Amino acid sequence: MSDGIGARVKRKEDKRFLLGKGKYTDDIRVENQSFGAFVRSPHAHARIKGIDASAALAMDGVLAVHTGPELKADGIGDIITGWAITSKNGDPMKIGAWSPLATEKVRYVGDSVAIVVAETQALARLAAEAVDVDYEVLAPTVATGEAMNPGQALVHDEIPNNMCFDWEVGDEAKTDAGLAGAAHVTEIDLINNRLSPNAIEPRSAIAVYDDAEDHYTLYSTSQNPHVARLVLSAFYNVAPEHKLRVIAPDVGGGFGSKIYIYPEEITCLWASMKTGRTIRWTAERSESFMTDAHARDHVTTAKMGFDADGKIVGFKVDTIANLGAYASLFATATPTYLYGTLLSGQYAMPAIYCNVKAVYTNTVPVDAYRGAGRPEATYVVERMMEKAAREMNMDVADLRRKNFIREFPYQTEVLLAYDAGDFDAVLDMAQQAANVAGFQARKAEATSRGKMRGIGYSCFIEACGLAPSAAAGSLGSGVGLWESAEVRVNPVGTIEILTGAHSHGQGHETTFAQLAADRFGVPIDNVSIVHGDTDKVQFGMGTYGSRSGPVGMSAVMKALDKVEAKVKKIVAHSLEAAEDDIVIEGGEAKIAGTDKKMAWHEIGLAAYLAHNLPEGMEPGLKETSFFDPVNFSFPSGCFICEVEVDPQTGTTQIVQFVAADDFGTIINPMIVEGQVHGGVTQGIGQALMEGVVYDDDGQLLTGSYMDYCMPRADDVPSYTIGHGCTPSPNNPLGLKGCGEAGAIGSPVAVINAIVDAIGTDVEMPATPSRVWAAIQASSMPQAAE
């Protein structure tokens, strides 16, 4: 089957994008349009003493200025966090109220204070500048590692020490005992640098209010329009669900940053009702840097103990995680259940203990970004493994092999039970592709050119397709984690698949269609995918956490099962055969071993004409499914990075990058490899150049692409990709999810390679100045004793 599972089918959605005919939110025009702009706090921490909008309102063409107290008076709810974390002493997490428009205090630079609505975008922005807010400036709390210190300003007056929760996982006593008895203990201090996701399409919203129907429509750059509608309805009280339609049209990248329902969407919807005008708002890039959820930002100390043979006997990790000013939707789950639970890595560890303290600071909220918690866990585990190997004079790959998990399912000491994997095979594959055997010769040649060459590994595992709903609920999740699908066979035999997953670059219009093409042998051009509109698709949880494959496609498979069963009944009845004798292939249903058959369009027509259906069968051919997985899936992989560092300048060049993954079954290798390329590049960005910087006053210094360094084409190499395959037993296709692996596994491979090259530790981002300084510091002549 040329368009079926495993085929490199070219993308069906490409044409409209290539012709410039994609329809992104800001491309859409709705009647009665006006423009919104936000008045934002210029201070990291301040009390609002008064707001004077008279100058703005006096400008010709300014329609309205609305503020926080008005929004509260209309009953608009505070922004929620979706996962309840319990501290180790049993206390619930402490949540600071987050009003979509600030009422009493502003808590980060960019915090929204008011919305201005005007006839043009330029005027709205000008008028926002003219709104005079009287602030009493307060001292801010900025640095992650200092947020809990005595005397630090309180981000939320009622939350002591700025601490949201003090969470733990694993067995501390057992881990301490393991470390106490260890032959060798390696210690490491790490900072996981703060990032900005930077989808190239800025966030955008068009809010439409229809007073005749008392109905709202929101066009939004959302990864999960149904979740947006649910939250806007149930928690923010914008409108009941049946009076609110959310459309996420073409969306220009998400990477997690478009999961959340931000103040702007809520405020635009509410203000569209207040003004009776359609309100269009699109972020400028500087606004994206100021208000899109940031990522990572951990300060960690870790200890790992080994026996005399190099086997891990205990692993203890203490992390302070920065939540920013408010707890965003997944912010509390990310540094806990998506981080501490992954600290066993690919290794059999008899004892693990992780403590995470989450702190509020006067910075933009931090939330899930490609990988979400798992890159941070991988960074700790894999920095540790290479540091320990060097300290024990062992080969970095040998130490890993000595500790690999080899029997599945494997119950870790930190809640998760791994489903499947073959870590040796993937490491072998990566080592072969990277020609590790030839490394010393390459290093010698580089040395002759005055370059420092190093090689670094990352053997990682992640958990994707968060599930099952009941287990997640017992751990504090506020949502179900299933996915829905509907398969409609039309009377002419064409097929529409409606999915609650959302594509913002992942290629669902191709890969989801491959499932139907594979199952029924119909041409892929006869299959279309419908997604991203709450009026069309019944419900769905959207796309994040690499869940479209393992969860979303599984729902489609279940719906296809039901369609297939009904088709067999219809055909068996029409052809007077037994259901068990019906075989579906090549777009036809046949009686096995005969030439009696019905073409796909004949079957569709029969179902809808309903002239000759089996007794009691309902007409039509449309089936729905909700799929709730029994467990996470666990993609794993081995990345090997080779770098050359110029000791004169500290510049790092990545000369080779091998990414060998185990994603289980692969639907479309072309698309999967594209996901890996993109994820690895984001990880290289984190390792070498990306980093959000706030100064001591909480001013954002990295507010544009001139200050925040994004990876460009000449910063990265061409990649070598390999695929292992141990199918997940937890879903019908054996899928594990491929969206995040690149970003999870790559930062630490790059840093390990640099550390190998220069012989000393360096933190992310390993900019030329940092690398140069590290080389200088390590090669300083030692003072005489």
CB 214 → another protein: shortest distance, Å?
A: 30
Strands 278-282 and 33-40: what pairing? parallel
CB 401 → another protein: shortest distance, Å?
A: 29
CB 25 → another protein: shortest distance, Å?
A: 11
Single out the residue of 322, 284, 291, 110 nearest to residue 196, CA to CA.
291
136 touches 47 (CB < 8 A):
yes
Instruction: For another protein, give the closer residue by CB, 647 or 669.
Output: 669
**Footprint of another protein on this chain (CB under 8 A)?**
10-11, 13-24, 26-27, 29, 122, 198-202, 250-253, 255, 284-286, 504-507, 670-671, 673-674, 677-682, 704-706, 710-714, 716, 718-719, 742
41 touches 108 (CB < 8 A):
yes
Instruction: For another protein, give the closer residue by CB, 83 or 719.
Output: 719
Instruction: For another protein, give the closer residue by CB, 137 or 200.
Output: 200
Instruction: For another protein, give the closer residue by CB, 456 or 507.
Output: 507
Instruction: For another protein, give the closer residue by CB, 111 or 287.
Output: 287
Instruction: For another protein, give the closer residue by CB, 288 or 362.
Output: 288
Give the whole-angstrom CA distance, residue 497 versus residue 531: 9
316 touches 176 (CB < 8 A):
yes
Rg of the chain over Cα atoms, rounded to whole angstroms, equals 27
Instruction: For another protein, give the closer residue by CB, 287 or 756.
Output: 287
Strands (E), 150-274: 163-170, 184-192, 204-210, 215-220, 244-247
CB 119 → another protein: shortest distance, Å?
A: 13
Phi first, then psi, for residue 335 (nearest 5°) are -85, 10
CB 689 → another protein: shortest distance, Å?
A: 12
Burial of 575 (0-12, 13-18, 19+ CB in 10 A): middle
Instruction: For another protein, give the closer residue by CB, 350 or 678.
Output: 678
CB 87 → another protein: shortest distance, Å?
A: 36
515 touches 560 (CB < 8 A):
yes
Give the whole-angstrom CA distance, residue 391 versus residue 778: 16
Single out the residue of 26, 85, 517, 550 nearest to residue 252, CA to CA.
26
56 touches 62 (CB < 8 A):
yes
Give the whole-angstrom CA distance, residue 583 versus residue 124: 63
Token pair of 755 as six digits: 């550390």
CB 289 → another protein: shortest distance, Å?
A: 10
Instruction: For another protein, give the closer residue by CB, 77 or 739.
Output: 739
Instruction: For another protein, give the closer residue by CB, 477 or 682.
Output: 682
Burial of 212 (0-12, 13-18, 19+ CB in 10 A): exposed
Q: Which amino acid is at 17?
A: F
Cis peptide leading into 765, omega within 30 of 0?
Answer: yes
CB 681 → another protein: shortest distance, Å?
A: 3
CB 761 → another protein: shortest distance, Å?
A: 27
CA distance between the termini of the chain: 74
